[in-house]
Amino acid sequence: MLTLPELKSLLATPQQIVITTHHKPDGDAMGSSLGLYGYLIQKGHHVKVITPTDYPTFLHWMPNNSDVIIFTEEQEKAAKLVDEAALIFCLDFNTLSRINELGELVRAAGAKKVMIDHHLEPEDFDDYRHWSINACAAAQLVYDFIVNQLEDKAGINKDVAACLYTGIMTDSGSFRFESATANVYRIAADLIDLGAEHWKIHQQVYDNASEDRLRFLGYCLSNKLEIIREYNTAIIAVTKEELARFNSTTGDTEGVVNYALSINGIKLAALIVERSDKVKLSVRSTGDFPANEICKKYFNGGGHRNAAGGASEKPLNDVVNDFKSILEEYKNQLIA
């Protein structure tokens, strides 16, 4: 394992560095990655952010986004960068399966691996770990890494602050989740003081939908929402044909499940989407109900207690039926 003094020593001179994050990156994944990127390039390091896949266009406004390499589009270039890196920062994920084919390249690389993450049950592939399940976002931990571990708050300029604020804002549900503690608010205020334009960031992320995306949301709520009152559960199941009908692109399904969860009395909500390769689930819950347990136990996934995801190789209807059959096991918790 790498100690903090050893890591600081490495970072004291320019290094070849790769930053990567989980597939289909969200606001926290890109915010933490581009925030750390913005910090490290100020220190003279040669840095590249490599994402396993594409990500939503409503995140493309972020500082230094044009420098991101998407692995599925530039595999040879990405593989060369991973192979030549001295340090690889792994942000907002803790198992290499979360970065798809890129995972085995990272595992085989001779670079020192640094994990900065807030998910349960990390895999032991890293050499240095800054990890806490109590953090609301990986971006919060990147802030803590820079300010408290590297002791370099001066390195958080306006661009870095904007990225880190984005990650914290999105993963805390705009500061409404239980994970948004008083300390999170203090960090957010600090990032605003350091230049993050909070109002503009919120507008770029949440008020930047395409017409197709908004019509897709309306269709889901009007035609696809199923309420199972016996279990205080809501389900939205979407076929790949329906995705195509609304010209769905990466990110268009993000947040849809939260509308189902917002219904009075609903304690568990699932968005079940048929993709070209498999069926994906986004599961949300309220209170102490373990959404992550359902995803881990039955759908090859996991995540946080109230926000988790999974996948299945079965047909869409079978996955929906499997999800419904699980509800009886959790009935006492769901009706409590």
> What pLDDT sits at residue 318?
98
Cα 6-11-12 angle, rounded to 5 deg: 95
> What pLDDT sits at residue 166?
98
> What pLDDT sits at residue 153?
98
| 49, 105, 273 from 88: Cα distances, Å | 10, 11, 32
- Residue 169 CA to residue 205 CA, distance in Å, equals 10
Global pTM reads: 0.92
> What pLDDT sits at residue 336?
86
> What pLDDT sits at residue 205?
96
Q: List, run by run, the mean pLDDT of 10-residue segments along the chain (336 residues).
A: 96 98 97 98 98 96 98 98 98 95 97 96 96 97 98 98 98 92 98 98 94 97 98 98 96 95 97 96 96 96 92 97 98 94
